[in-house]
Structure 1
């Protein structure tokens, strides 16, 4: 079955095989954002062609099938000519049966080849899309945290799903469509010349206006693309933010439901308008072209009937030529349309490749230092560490020298914005220091694989994140190979095993969206059990109890004390009463380490720590009265 392009005017432009979805077709105004996207991140065609590089063999087979199928299809008009000029007038039954049988054979063979071609090309295209999707997903996971803090979640999802899906038609069908249409057009043009070179010249008169009109429509279609994708990204963000459990609770408590519905209504209306524009883009131009195409056969009949131009043409030749003429314009416009669709999709490729080209600033070293997390001591050392966030006008941390001895508990305190969480992020290698080095057991974290760093350092933060699955699978997320016995041991260490077993479904209980089925303290202990399951040598507790009430905090603190025993533990504390027994307390102020010592030593000095302690003690006393 040979792919062809429907005669213009018989369907909405771009709506055929290989065209992008209606939501990514065109408007009538040139979109500056679309042009700016391509100017800022141009996409060379060779990069798109490289997507097919690993599939050269099936692509060659598909191309061969297309050439054979297109060539066989050209036999039918010649069979028709002999049928009309020879078999029917002379009542030659044997020739008649042969010609009719030949027509049926051509149809059967081309249809069979078409099925094979469709299967091979679709499989190849889907593999290309699969590779592009998985590469983008893997790359996004490796991007630094700063990317996700400045990029909307809906935008990331839109590029990974909507943009890639919109490219699917082009990637899946463009190569086969180009090969099919070029082969058919060249073969058809040659056959027309063989039949009648005079009529061939007349038929070719329509090509210049066809090319001009097709390119005009192509330019129209380019303009809607970025607008549609941005609208889809907005809608996806609205859905994600408004219909998550946290978003629903927020909207219900602040009464923002009507406003959210109105905002969603506006976004949906914009998409509706873009769809209408895409359906109508260039429609009248293509209708005009259809009228021109309809007039060409009439002119051919006129030329064939005039003695000066007929050249003794037979009826069979005229019928065969007319059939070939119809078959010529479809593939020629098909080639132009494929090019137009590729142009239309360039902004989509640009958006996807833009994410793929973003540098991975935190990655595995080329020659990593071998580290065995199972035998690690957990001695952490920060040497002259300085860190500044991108775009910031000052350092978040400034020349920090600090040692966390193996197996000891170190507390990190300071006012909001003093750099506590930034320092914790450096130890877990969520960031790399701008200057200086962070080492565990003498090995720079930048010389380890990221897997080794995550195995060495476990993090429990203030905001625990639970997946919408069972408790068992939430815990196993940290260690996919963990046995049920190991999962239960981790839960016992986190003081949450009894709570879980008291539930009707036990460890198979569904936690719900973001864990909202459980209280904050219960979520925190489940998250702690998940971290314990990795058995890290270093444990970072980033204000893990600051959002809890006093009773829940005591329960979680007991679990933390149990888990911290024998591990190097860095505790970022909001309530200073929870870290009095730490082996070392470090005080940060404005990104600088200003004090260090035990609780009693620091109180005796009367410095920054003592001021913080007295401030919290006074608030506690005033609260009682």
Structure 2
């Protein structure tokens, strides 16, 4: 059962991120600050202009309608203002209309610039996250599941966009409105302003409490989103297995459990919000009621109540009522701003947690030039375990995980030779070959290509020289031609057809209604396993690498097709170094050398005839596949099968 305490190395990097939103501006603000500044200025002007109509209304009431005050405005020279009553009336109308026009124009400018800034940052963050993900070691993907990575790329970046687009600008609007209203009220009557603004310190303290209480809950909610995405992605990807094993109820239960966790974490946030939002509105409402009470008594009695002194005009009282009501809305929005801030803070931690995961497999500072590659491959006392590849410290908690997958393996393949690896499942055959591509790095020993340690070679040079055909064939959703030329995107249609012909794929492709333009579906689901393998082999043929790795490349085809593909493979491997992993020993009996692996170690080596003569593990496997039932049974009993 998943718990909130489940942690991975990725979570440790996330927790180490310091001031993530500040880092967001520091790393992604430069180059976009013009849009941000324009939006902030437009927002400021719009909010200040929105304060003009209430102020003009108060002045007009006192000077024009009541006739008890001067027609004067703060920061406006008296010579600019009309003196005749009707002129003052029309001036007020025009000024109010003009202020609303300024508000509309500046709000439009703010909306455009804020969105350009927010979406520009979101785009850059998403692309940088994906680029970082592409450069991470395979150990990261062994540990993290697809759904959680997708949550970072989609949900978390969207949270950042909402914060930059809405919360940030609303925060500025709040500060301007509260500051502007407070300034106007203090200018008109500072005694009554103290009453109107008395709730602001209480609101600030209430907000600080809410932010501290809600932050860890947002962190848990973001983790729950990732867990649910992972569960949904796994369930949808494995829907065929679910149906064929009658396990729909089991999958529904697992999704229900993950969704329940998200529900509970979300409700934990909302329970605080249910207290915070009404509390803020209550404080703001009490401030408005106090203003009306004190100001109303002041006007009704003609005397300042209590310790207050001075005079209060009808116009000033109307302005106070308008502006204290105006202050309620932005203060009540603090809860939404805090929600978006905390959500963005938790999301930015996850984004930068991903950014900070180190790539242990990376290009050397000064890579050696191995071109042109001859194809000599040397393994010298190579050992590997997944624990060390992630930089973990062996505390004995997971001994099975920490034990060596490859243990002290040595061999050499001369240019043009074929070295085959056989052995039971889990013997380390695939891992041994992946080390050549530096999908992982060795723990001890070294792997050399043409005498150069692969860790001293640029990854692009190394992987361009080594082709890899996996037993777990992956095809992208696109056409057959797109998948054949993947990695060599400028290959001509003729080259694609020639590669497919060499891999025994052209015949079935030509029989399809759309031929090479046939879409294969997600993960190639519209093709059979054997067809997918032939497409993958076509891709390797097109790449024409100097070193070729075949990881059970014909495991999903029938015997007849296997024989035809094997003939193509023989031609393909005739002049290049080949490392072949085989379950069917017949496909590698002509290899220059065959290595038998068990528990990551080489227990036998030699060519086919030599190993048969030795009558060891290889001979037992050969006889088992040749149909010797008694030997096969013995092999299974002693665990060597």
Global fold match (TM > 0.5)? yes
- Alignment partner, residue 38 of structure 2: 61
Whether the 8 Å CA contact 1:177–1:338 is kept in 2: the answer is: yes
1:74 partnered with 2:73: no
Deviation digits for residues 138-160 of structure 1 (CA, Å, limit 9, x no counterpart): 11122222222222222221222
Check conservation: 2:224, 2:265, Cα contact below 8 A: no
Gaps of 5+ in 1: 1-30
Q: Distance in 1 between matches of 2:603 and 2:298?
A: 99
Within 5 A, what are the aligned runs for 1:400-411? 400-411=409-420
Does the 8 Å contact 2:533/2:556 carry over to 1? no
Matching of residue 96 in structure 1 with residue 89 in structure 2: yes
1:235: how far off?
Answer: 3.4
Deviation (angstroms), 1:330: 4.5
Structure 1 residue 501: Cα displacement: 0.9
- 1:28 aligns with none
Quick check: 1:407–1:565 contact (8 Å CA) kept in 2?
yes
Larger RCO: Structure 1 or Structure 2 (Cα < 8 Å, ≥ 6 residues apart)? 1
Greater displacement, 568-577 / 36-45: 36-45
2:14/2:354 contact within 8 Å kept:
no
Sort the Cα spacing of 1:286 and 1:456 in 2 relative to 1 into closer, same or farther, 3 A.
Answer: same
Which residue of 115, 120, 124 corresponds with 1:122? Answer: 115
**Number of the residue aligned with 2:147:** 154
Aligned match for 2:245, one of 244, 254, 279: 254
Residues 583 and 360 of structure 1, relative CA distance in 2, 3 Å threshold:
same
Q: Distance in 2 between matches of 1:449 and 1:605?
A: 42
CA contact (8 A) 1:541 1:570 kept: yes
Q: Tell me which of 576, 581, 584 is aligned to 1:567.
A: 576
Aligned CA distance change for structure 1 residues 231 and 619 (closer, same or farther; 3 Å): farther
Q: Is 2:601 the partner of 1:592?
A: yes
- Structure 1 position 32, deviation (Å): 8.0
After the TM superposition, which residues 201-220 of structure 1 pair with which residues of structure 2 at under 5 Å, given as runs? 201-219=194-212
> What is aligned with 2:192?
199
The question of 1:476 aligning with 2:485 is answered: yes
Matches within 5 A, 1:439-518: 439-518=448-527
Q: Which residue of 2 aligns with 1:416?
A: 425
SS of the counterpart of 1:431?
A: coil
Distance change >3 Å, CA 145–CA 33, structure 1 → 2: closer
Task: Identify the residue that residue 18 of structure 2 maps to in structure 1.
Answer: 43
SS at match of 1:368: coil
Counterpart check, 1:542 vs 2:551: yes
Deviation of 1:357 after TM superposition, in Å, equals 1.3
Partner of 1:25: none
Whole-angstrom CA distance in 2 between matches of 1:318 and 1:37: 57
Q: Aligned equivalents of 1:387 and 1:262: distance in 2?
A: 38
Deviations 1:192-213 (A, max 9, x none): 1111011111112212332333
The alpha-carbon deviation at position 339 of structure 1 amounts to: 5.0
Give the aligned partner of residue 345 of structure 1. Answer: 344
For 2:71, the equivalent position in structure 1 comes to none
> Contact 1:542–1:571 at 8 Å: present in 2 too?
yes
Question: 3-state DSSP class of the match of 1:586?
Answer: strand
CA–CA distance in structure 1, aligned partners of residues 329 and 91 of structure 2? 29
Report the Cα distance in structure 2 between the residues aligned to 1:249 and 1:32, rounded to whole angstroms. 32
**Deviation at residue 37 of structure 1 after TM alignment:** 7.8
What is the alpha-carbon distance in structure 1 between the residues aligned to residue 580 and residue 12 of structure 2? Answer: 45
Distance of 2:266 and 2:622 partners within structure 1? 62
Q: Distance in 1 between matches of 2:526 and 2:171?
A: 55
TM-score with structure 2 setting the length = 0.84
Q: What is the distance in 2 between the residues matched to 1:136 and 1:172?
A: 20
**Residue 639 of structure 2 corresponds to which residue in structure 1?**
none
Q: In 1, are the aligned partners of 2:285 and 2:328 still within 8 Å (CA)?
A: no
CA contact (8 A) 2:214 2:269 kept: yes
Tell me how far apart the structure 1 counterparts of residues 562 and 549 of structure 2 sit (CA, whole Å): 17
1:182 to 149, 152, 175: 175
Q: What do you get for the CA RMSD once the two structures are aligned?
A: 3.0
Indicate yes or no: 2:389 matched with 1:389: no
Paired position in structure 2 for 1:236: 229
Q: CA 1:493 to 1:383, structure 2 compared with 1: closer, same or farther past 3 Å?
A: same
Instruction: Summarize the Cα distance change of 1:202–1:48 in structure 2 as closer, same or farther, 3 Å threshold.
Output: same
Q: C-alpha distance in 1, partners of 2:266/2:587?
A: 59
Does the 8 Å contact 1:214/1:337 carry over to 2? no
**Contact preservation (8 Å) 1:408, 1:583:** yes
CA positional deviation for 1:520: 2.0
1:412 is paired with a residue whose SS is strand
CA shift digits 1:2-29 (9 cap, x unpaired): xxxxxxxxxxxxxxxxxxxxxxxxxxxx
- Give the C-alpha shift of residue 97 in structure 1: 0.8
C-alpha spacing 1:547/1:275, structure 2 compared with 1 (3 Å): same
Residue 221 of structure 1 deviates from its aligned partner by 4.0
Write the distance in 2 (CA, Å) between the matches of 1:432 and 1:370: 20
- Distance across 2 between alignment mates of 1:33 and 1:544: 37
Deviation at 1:488, TM superposition (A): 0.8
Q: Which deviates further from its counterpart, 542-551 or 134-143?
A: 542-551
Which stretches in structure 2 are left out of the alignment for 5+ residues?
Answer: 68-83, 388-393, 395-400, 633-641
Residues paired across the two proteins, number: 589
Could you say which residue in structure 2 is the equivalent of 1:15? Answer: none
Hey, what's the Cα distance between the residues in 2 that align with 1:462 and 1:288? 65
Over 3 Å counting, the alpha-carbon distance change for 1:336 and 1:416 in structure 2 is: closer
Aligned to 1:139: 132
Shift of 1:81: 2.2
Q: What displacement does 1:101 show? A: 0.3
Q: TM-score, normalised by structure 1?
A: 0.86
State the Cα deviation string for residues 348-376 of structure 1 (Å, max 9, x = none). 2222222221111111222222344xx42
Q: Give yes or no for the alignment of 1:295 onto 2:272.
A: no
Query: 1:95-154 CA distances to partner (integer Å, 9 max, x unpaired)?
Result: 111111011111101210111111111110111111111111111122222222222222
Q: 1:181 to 1:351 in 2, by over 3 A?
A: same
The residue aligned with 1:361 is: 360
Deviation per CA, 1:469-494: give whole Å up to 9, x if none: 22112122222111111111111111
> Matches of 2:5 and 2:535 in 1, distance apart?
49
Q: 1:279/1:590 Cα in 2 relative to 1: closer, same or farther (>3 Å)?
A: closer
Could you tell me whether the CA contact under 8 Å between 1:82 and 1:316 is conserved in 2? Answer: yes
Equivalence for 2:318: 319
Asked if 1:264 corresponds to 2:255, the answer is yes
